[in-house]
């Protein structure tokens, strides 16, 4: 006989938090949102942590290099989408790792015998105002000089002018030689009021640049998450088919953490993938798995070696898995049950495996509910797809700016590996849609607003950390009538009324 769950599964909108006692210390400025990203043993610290409980979804319409850079700057982590060639995914990861580094390899280079026209074209193509002049035009050639925007004016110079005639020559450059620490390099920048500092080897071959803007950026973004070389942390999605060739390429490009991108994680395919990773790399490579919606699925992936586990099936705004296949569970119920299994596993084994709530977030307060119910962090698709930094186009639809957003199981993405059940390499039917969502502006502004709401609600619950919220939270199911009561009701909203008059 089939197993029937006694209770209906619930969504986040069916719950509210009941306020708890707030002391005078419970103010938003004192709230810390740091949370573990990967598993760790009792008494140890996790190898990777987040400063805010947000990661971006492994989707074509969400997580490119710009998203990864912007989210890491705020303290979260992106997972570059895996539904592309190995080479293109690895290249995206490499761009993120090189974008923010104390020592930045030069990717904008030119020879002294080239022309102003070629300098202008290089700046237009790459967007860099500092261009290294090397003897052979390569990133590690003999440094001959540097061209910056102060060295040329197209209105007063012929486009055929040779670079050698207007560059700042090596003899006049302030530079540093290896070995030099980042702190020493920054001191030189500040002492000489420079915007950039070339780093050369003992033969004067260019090795790196150190930029003042990177130092300023870190001061402006104290939550940014960096590796030991001061580069942004970035994740990458993989599948259960080509992982033996994809994973080495992603690791070589600098990926800090991997995640199996799958609609359903309670499978032999994920177990085989996790087993191969742990056998090949041991504990040096961190990898998440999922998705699952109950305690049994959690324990399966935990025993298989997952470093974090994603929870949620069918709750995404562009996902139609429940409609198409009748598979899934209300996201709130799934998180509550899996969090319970996670805690039991920790008591039994001494190993804490973070869980990630993936899907079902419609309003900002749903994030706070997910955390209170036991999620360590939240994976977001639609939320991030609305921002400037997502890879999709901003389009005008009936006078309103929108962003494109499509599911990995849609006909547009054709990401059949995400729904892999061991059959032929094709997508037999779609489990996602292609859509538009309202454009919302920059990631930074929106994330800061969302986090301010989370911090405020946590204070209402008497909690200053996520673990404290999970310990102190009091949650209540609400009726359909009380949901209506919770919004504006029985009034004529001014904005709507003014629009009707116009």
Catalytic residue positions?
319, 418
Beta strands in 141-269 (DSSP E): 143-147, 168-169, 176-177, 196-200, 206-211, 235-238, 257-260
59 close to 415: Cβ distance less than 8 angstroms = no
Give the C-alpha separation, 220 to 222, whole Å: 6
- HEC assignment per residue over 121-141: HHHHHHCCCCEEEECCCCCCC
Q: At what angle do helices 443-460 and 65-74 cross, to 10 degrees?
A: 40
Structure tokens given for 369: 């509910």
The structure tokens 């004192």 sit at 30
Structure tokens given for 348: 């039994």
Give the C-alpha separation, 83 to 60, whole Å: 7
Count the Cβ atoms, other than its own, within 10 Å of residue 196. Answer: 20
Give the C-alpha separation, 188 to 231, whole Å: 21
Kindly give, in sequence order, each residue whose CB lies less than 8 Å from that of residue 462, ignoring residues fewer than 6 positions away.
Answer: 20, 21, 22, 23, 26, 468, 472
């Amino acid at each position: 006989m089939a197993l029937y769950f006694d209770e209906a599964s619930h969504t986040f909108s069916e719950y509210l938090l009941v306020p708890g006692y707030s002391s005078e210390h419970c103010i938003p400025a004192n709230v810390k949102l740091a949370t573990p990203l990967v598993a760790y043993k009792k008494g140890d610290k996790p190898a990777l942590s987040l400063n805010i409980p947000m990661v971006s979804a492994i989707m074509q319409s969400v997580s490119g290099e710009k998203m990864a850079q912007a989210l890491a700057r705020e303290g979260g982590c992106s997972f570059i989408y895996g539904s592309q060639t190995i080479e293109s995914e690895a290249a995206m990861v490499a761009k993120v790792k090189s974008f923010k580094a104390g020592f930045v390899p030069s990717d904008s280079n030119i020879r002294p015998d080239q022309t102003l026209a070629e300098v202008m074209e290089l700046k237009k193509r790459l967007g860099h105002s500092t261009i290294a002049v090397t003897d052979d035009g390569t990133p590690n050639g003999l440094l001959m000089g540097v061209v910056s925007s102060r060295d040329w004016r197209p209105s007063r110079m012929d486009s055929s002018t040779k670079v050698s005639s207007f560059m700042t020559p090596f003899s006049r450059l302030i530079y540093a030689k290896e070995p030099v620490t980042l702190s020493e390099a920054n001191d030189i920048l500040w002492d000489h009021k420079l915007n950039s500092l070339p780093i050369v080897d003992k033969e004067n071959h260019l090795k790196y640049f150190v930029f003042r803007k990177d130092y300023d950026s870190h001061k402006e973004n104290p939550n940014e998450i960096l590796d030991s070389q001061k580069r942004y942390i970035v994740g990458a999605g993989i599948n259960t088919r080509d992982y033996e060739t994809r994973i080495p390429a992603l690791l070589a490009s600098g990926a800090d953490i991997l995640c199996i991108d799958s609609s359903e994680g309670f499978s032999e395919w994920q177990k085989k993938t996790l087993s191969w990773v742990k056998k090949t790399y041991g504990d040096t490579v961190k990898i998440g798995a999922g998705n699952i919606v109950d305690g049994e699925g959690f324990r399966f992936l935990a025993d298989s070696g997952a470093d974090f586990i994603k929870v949620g099936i069918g709750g995404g705004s562009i996902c139609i898995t429940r409609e198409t296949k009748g598979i899934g569970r209300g996201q709130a119920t799934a998180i509550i049950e899996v969090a319970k299994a996670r805690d039991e596993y920790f008591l039994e084994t001494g190993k804490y495996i973070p869980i990630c709530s993936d899907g079902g977030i419609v309003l900002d307060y749903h994030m706070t509910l997910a955390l209170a119910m036991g999620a360590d962090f939240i994976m977001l698709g639609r939320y991030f797809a609305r921002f400037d930094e997502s890879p999709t186009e901003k389009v005008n639809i009936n006078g309103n700016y929108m962003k494109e957003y499509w599911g990995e199981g849609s006909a547009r993405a054709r990401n059949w590996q995400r729904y892999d059940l061991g059959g032929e390499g094709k997508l037999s039917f779609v489990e996602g849609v292609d859509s538009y969502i309202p454009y919302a502006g920059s990631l930074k502004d929106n994330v800061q607003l969302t986090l301010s709401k989370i911090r405020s609600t946590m204070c209402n619950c008497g909690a200053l950390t996520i673990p404290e919220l999970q310990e102190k939270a009091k949650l209540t199911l609400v009726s359909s009538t009380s949901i209506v009561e919770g919004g504006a009701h029985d009034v004529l909203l001014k904005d709507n009324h003014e629009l009707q008059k116009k």
